[in-house]
Amino acid sequence: AIYIEKELLKKVLDELRSQGIDPVHVTCLELRKKLADFTLPELLTPVLLEEKERIALAGEEIKKPIINMRRGEFAYTRDIERTRKSLRVTAVLLVFIVLVFSADVLLKMVSLRQESAAVKNEIRKQYMELFPGEKNIVNELYQLKSHLKELQEKEDVFIGVDTLGLFLNLSQLEREGVVFNEIMEDKNAITLKGEAASLSLIQQFKQKLDSLYNDVTIADSKSSARGNMLFTITAKGKR
């Protein structure tokens, strides 16, 4: 067994630390020499080493020490403490990074919610301008799609309607004493409602319409409270 006085080892280590030296191992070069040339008769003979021999043995001992007396309370801990400190710093940095990332995500979520609320408010505003009479607004997008669907279903009603052409044709016809109260047109027919001083004037106007449209018919005629004749004329496709 190899022994060394605690106080002596403590004193040596303290002196080395005061010089900024903290050895990883405390070993014995003489022991390496003795074990290298071990014989029982020479076991208790002191080992005397020259400087060059000590340097060579020290190199071997650094590479592969045969004994290390830095154990227990004298154990070398600088690397462990450095590693612990590094781990603590790393942990703090990781926590900081996580906090920064979480804050960034939170800010983006808040921003997205605010933008979403602004978009929803703008959609509702535009919807109310499009449909001012509608009061029960629950889901603007769904209700807008419903309105679009209704328009698509009625699309064929508007296709082929030439209202401007109808007004132009009527303006070119002589209609003495005939006044229109209502003019309606769809894809298949036109309907004219109005009044005239007499039934004969209505019939004359009907004959003029015959030159422009097919199937012109006086669908209804009756006297008004003012003594005029109210009429309804229908016609189909243009000639």
Q: Which class would CATH give 160-235?
A: alpha beta
Residue 33 has pLDDT above 70, yes or no: no
Which residues 6+ apart lie within 8 Å of 70 measured at CB? Answer: 13, 23, 24, 25, 26, 76
pLDDT, one tens digit per residue, over 37-89 is: 666 565 556 666 777 877 777 777 777 777 777 777 777 777 777 788 888 88
Q: CA 95, CA 126: separation in Å to the nearest integer?
A: 46
The predicted pLDDT at position 77 comes to: 75
- Edge-to-edge order in the sheet of strand 217-223: 178-185, 190-196, 229-235, 217-223
Residue 9 has pLDDT above 90, yes or no: no
The predicted pLDDT at position 118 comes to: 87
Helix (H, G, I), strand (E, B) or coil at 177: coil
The encoded tokens of residue 173 equal 């016809």
Average pLDDT score over residue span 161-185 = 80
What is the β-pairing status of strands 178-185 and 229-235? unpaired
The encoded tokens of residue 101 equal 């990332």
pTM value is: 0.36
The single-letter DSSP state of residue 72 is: G
The predicted pLDDT at position 154 comes to: 63
Average pLDDT score over residue span 173-199 = 86
Domain ranges (residues) in the chain: 6-76, 88-153, 160-235
Please give the single-letter amino acid code of residue 194.
Answer: G
Q: CA 95, CA 209: separation in Å to the nearest integer?
A: 88
Q: CA 173, CA 207: separation in Å to the nearest integer?
A: 11
Average per-residue pLDDT for the chain: 80
The predicted pLDDT at position 231 comes to: 93
pLDDT, one tens digit per residue, over 133-158 is: 777 888 877 887 887 777 766 655 55
Q: Within 10 Å of residue 115's Cβ, how many Cβ atoms?
A: 10
Higher pLDDT, 114 or 36: 114
Pick the closest to residue 35 from 60, 70, 10, 6 (CA basis). 60
Q: CA 208, CA 210: separation in Å to the nearest integer?
A: 5
Average pLDDT score over residue span 157-164 = 61
